[in-house]
Amino acid sequence: MRLPEALRRVPVADLWLAAGLSAVSVTAALLLPVGPPYRPVDVVGAALSGVAPLALALRRTAPLPVLAATGAMVPLAAVLGYPVMTVQWPAWIALFTCFSLGEHWGRRAVAVLLTCLSVAGFAVADRGAVGTLDYFGIAMCFLVSTVAGDAARSRRAAAEAAHLRVLALARERTEAAERVVARERRRLAEELHDALGHAVNVMVMQAGVGRRVFAENPQFAEQALAHVETVGRDALGELDRLLRVLHPDSASSPGGEPAVSRADGPAPALTGLAELADRVRAAGREVVLKPADVALSPSAERALYRIAQEAVTNALRHSRNGPVTVEVTQLADTVVLEVGNEVPPMSAPVPGRGLINMHERARLEGGSFEAGPVGGRFRVRAALPAAVAVRP
């Protein structure tokens, strides 16, 4: 047989409170001495003492009805001629509950009204002489019930607020960790896009040149294939480096052999611009490189190299002829990179991942980035702050 829904929601602590207080009330009513003008406690009086506490099992789900029921038991016991020593206990606990469940002033006002009616009924129906001491005791019980109930509510609200703060802090930490992971994934995606995109583009161009001149100039075609092999190996080395960043413990196969090429070269730097230009020239495209000695932090130098690499890759992809110019200069405390190529007069840049990546790299280093047609050429310009020299 299933219990009613209201009883199934009753906290176990309230069930124990109701049962325990009922047993104590009946025992106290039977053992405490009772004299005139009150009736001796009999079966009916013991039943009143035992039934009233049972309503406290529902004190959280129906606080006002429980207070009304337990409060009515007090004048009823007085009307029947019994003392209200133990019958009044559940009423005060019910009043405490009404004040502890929340700052609902309407419920509190009704609770005070029900309590006053119960006290008034007791004062009218009680057979003994209700004196000043009795009213003082009633007033103290009222104050203890209301003040203690409000204090319990305040403590519970403070505990809930502290718990919410802990949850909010944990959520902020989780979100911060997720932002770090997302930022790192975006950085690695940019690395893959810039490094491998450039390598694949150069390999395609060199393979195309080799195929076209294979019959007429087999020696040049062989050189083009050798360049394809070199660029491919470099791309595998870069991919291997990025994979080790993602999975440091899984860069080799279970048998101990490397999964890809184990090239452990230094991070890309501006000194690699000459090699970058040579690879493009080997693919049959003219590159004009104007390097300069500049002062950059390692991360800014890496970012500027990647911007140059991506800009050259875009130039090869979107233009068919004409030289690609790469110029690096330092103006006071700013290092400027400019990459230009010829474009048809009516062409317009199409925003893609490459431009977005270059802009983001410059922004993260505290610099600026712009790209667009200038004087019949498409120009990519990145300006990064130079490194501050440390005085000895």
275-308 confidence digits (pLDDT tens): 888 888 877 788 999 988 888 888 889 889 889 9
In angstroms and rounded to an integer, the radius of gyration of the C-alpha atoms of the chain is: 43
- Is the confidence at residue 351, as pLDDT, over 60? no
Classify residue 260 by its DSSP letter: S
Q: State residue 222's pLDDT score.
A: 73
Q: Which helix (H) or strand (E) holds 252?
A: none
CA distance 301 to 294: 9
Q: When comparing pLDDT for 36 and 64, which is higher?
A: 64
Per-residue confidence at 263, pLDDT binned at 50, 70, 90?
A: very low
- Is the confidence at residue 382, as pLDDT, over 90? yes
Under 8 Å between Cβ of 47 and 19: no
Mean pLDDT of 112-137: 89
pLDDT digits (tens, 9 = 90+) for 18-62: 999 999 999 988 888 888 888 888 889 899 899 999 999 999 889
Mean pLDDT of 79-100: 92
Q: State residue 278's pLDDT score.
A: 85
Instruction: Report the DSSP pairing between strands 324-331 and 368-374.
Output: unpaired
Q: Return the structure tokens found at 51.
A: 């039934």
Task: Give the dihedral sign, CA 99/101/102/106.
Answer: negative
Q: What are phi and psi of 59, to 5 degrees?
A: -65, -25
Under 8 Å between Cβ of 327 and 381: no
- Is the confidence at residue 203, as pLDDT, over 70? yes
Say what percent of the chain tops pLDDT 70.
81
Q: State residue 248's pLDDT score.
A: 54
Per-residue confidence at 354, pLDDT binned at 50, 70, 90?
A: confident
- Is the confidence at residue 2, as pLDDT, over 70? no
Q: When comparing pLDDT for 254 and 58, which is higher?
A: 58
Distances (CA, A) of 64 to 37, 99, 106, 109: 32, 11, 11, 11
Q: State residue 390's pLDDT score.
A: 45
Half-sphere exposure at residue 225, Cβ-oriented, CA atoms within 13 angstroms: 11
Half-sphere exposure at residue 60, Cβ-oriented, CA atoms within 13 angstroms: 14
Q: State residue 317's pLDDT score.
A: 80
Half-sphere exposure at residue 161, Cβ-oriented, CA atoms within 13 angstroms: 6
DSSP 124-169: HH-SS---HHHHHHHHHHHHHHHHHHHHHHHHHHHHHHHHHHHHHH
Q: When comparing pLDDT for 66 and 33, which is higher?
A: 66
Q: State residue 258's pLDDT score.
A: 42
CA distance 61 to 101: 10
Distances (CA, A) of 106 to 98, 120, 300: 10, 21, 66
Contacts of 21 (CB under 8 A, 6+ apart): 53, 56, 89, 90, 93
Under 8 Å between Cβ of 47 and 65: no
CA distance 303 to 382: 10
CA distance 26 to 353: 82
Mean pLDDT of 193-213: 71
Per-residue confidence at 219, pLDDT binned at 50, 70, 90?
A: confident
Contacts of 200 (CB under 8 A, 6+ apart): 235
Q: State residue 381's pLDDT score.
A: 94
**DSSP reduced 3-state for 274:** helix
Under 8 Å between Cβ of 48 and 82: yes
Q: Return the structure tokens found at 140.
A: 């103290």
CB neighbour burial string for 243-254, b if at least 16 within 10 angstroms, e if fewer:
bbeeeeeebeee
Per-residue confidence at 170, pLDDT binned at 50, 70, 90?
A: confident
Q: Which domains does the chain have, with CATH numbers?
A: 5-130 (no CATH), 283-392 (3.30.565.10)
- Is the confidence at residue 349, as pLDDT, over 80? no
Dihedral (C-alpha) 36, 41, 47, 48: value to the nearest 10 degrees?
Answer: 20
Under 8 Å between Cβ of 39 and 81: yes
